[in-house]
Structure 1
Amino acid sequence: MNNSKSSGYDLKDIKVYYSQKSDYELIQITTERAQGLRPGIFEIIEKEIKKRNLNPALLESVKAQNRSYTFEEIVEFSQKLRTLPCPICKDKAVKLNGTVIYTVKSYIFSASLREELVIGCPNCLDIKNKEAIISTALLGWWSGTGLINTPISIYTTIREKRWHRIPKPNDALLRFTSQNIGQIVAYKDDPEQLIEIIRYKG
């Protein structure tokens, strides 16, 4: 039996696949899409990272996406994010938190519903919250679907505001931390990169 094959996939082919990726693509895979790796693939990624002399923390990111975290561990990582400058206004004095805003935009026969998770200081979260409510109130009503979704979205967005200023990580920030744990682990000692993550991944 060929040991390079397991469960219908060929490790030799996978090795070639990763070797053909650019550094940027390999970093993106290891920090964002490494969950559920099958046997043997971690070793291939490990060798590729070492061969290219990439940041060894990328391996920790792969491991992070393939293990379970306790609630306390997620809180600990989110606390690290809270101490960063606000990615929106750059304020360093106030701890960050998260919010989820919902916007509805109607078209002639349909409507789009957008859910956005935002990380920032409480003042910026309040502003984003208000902008979403105004946008939905102006643009959301003008279709059958929009007529239904608009009041729900406005109510849900307003409700989120109550959690912007609590003294601990709120549910939105914990959700963001859990969803992006691979990148957060990889760059836990790189504040600038963490800021980029919360700016563009929220």
Structure 2
Amino acid sequence: MSDNRLIEVITTNAQGIQPEVVSIIENEIKKRNLDPDLLNSLIAQNEQHSIEDIYHYAELLRNCPCPICNNTRDKLNGTIYHSIKSIIVMSITETRWIIACPDCLDKQNRKAIVSCSLLGWWGIPWGILKTPVYIYRNLKVKGENRISDPNGPLLSFTADNIGQIKAFENNPEKLKNVIKDLR
């Protein structure tokens, strides 16, 4: 396994790992001369986190520059982008996480609303049924883009990716890449 693949597995897929495997991974990290903080990521994925922990890691993400426009004046938040595109009997849906500044989040939600409004209705039956639901979901999450605290989508993303965030909490460039990789 390459170093990059090992780092990916350790930081994203280590939940439920057996305790005896931890020492094997620790030895492999040392043998390959990788960042020792990777072990913290593995441990973080296998322990319970308080809401205070999740808020702490969410604040680390909020202080990164916007991955879309590189804005550093506004704190980041999250949104979930829902889209549907339909052609007669076929509908294609997409749901994506986005972490960015409030202006960029608003643009992404607006883009999704316009896309759904123009392209979602044309499929039978799913386009007609799902389009209003997706428009509503985009409007609802858009309302959370500018709140002063970490919003629901950002907290959910943080909880789901706490291993990566913890592994790179002292490396702002890699932390920025955790967010950027969503796009």
Q: TM-score range by the shorter chain?
A: over 0.9
State whether structure 2 residue 8 is matched by structure 1 residue 25.
Answer: no
Deviation at residue 107 of structure 1 after TM alignment: 2.9
**2:32 counterpart residue number:** 52
| CA root-mean-square deviation | 1.0
Aligned to 1:15: none
Equivalent residue, structure 2, for 1:155: 136
* Cα separation, 1, equivalents of 2:92 and 2:47: 35
| Superimposed CA distance per residue, residues 79-137 of structure 1 (whole angstroms, 9 cap, x where no aligned partner) | 11111111110011111101111101113322122111110100000000000111111
1: CA distance, partners of 2:6 / 2:181: 19
Matched with 2:96 is 116
User: Runs of at least 4 residues of structure 1 off by over 3 A?
Assistant: none
Task: Select 1:72's aligned residue among 30, 52, 55.
Answer: 52
Tell me the TM-score normalized by structure 1.
Answer: 0.88
- Larger Cα-atom Rg: 1
- Counterpart-to-counterpart distance in 2, 1:171 and 1:87: 19
| Structure 2 residues not aligned, in runs of 5+ | none
Provide the TM-score with structure 2 as the length reference: 0.96
| SS at structure 2 position matched to 1:183 | helix
Q: 1:90, 1:160 → 2: CA distance?
A: 22
Larger RCO (alpha carbons 8 Å, 6+ apart): 2
What residue is the counterpart of 1:34 in the other structure? 14
Deviation at 1:72, TM superposition (A): 1.0
Cα shift at 1:73? 0.8
**Percent identity among equivalent residues?**
45
C-alpha distance in 2 between matches for 1:71 and 1:55 = 27
1:176 to 157, 172, 177: 157
- Aligned partners of 2:24, 2:75: CA distance in 1, in Å? 40
Shift of 1:76: 0.8
Q: Does 1:83 align with 2:63?
A: yes
Give 1:172 deviation, angstroms: 0.6
Q: SS of the residue aligned with 2:95?
A: strand
Query: 1:68 deviation in Å?
Result: 0.8
Give the whole-Å Cα distance in 1 for the aligned partners of 2:107 and 2:182.
19
- 1:55-83 per-residue CA deviation (whole Å, 9 max, x = no partner) reads 00100000000001011110011011111
132, 141, 145: which one pairs with 2:112?
A: 132
C-alpha separation between the residues in 1 aligned to 2:96 and 2:139? 14
Q: Does 1:200 align with 2:155?
A: no
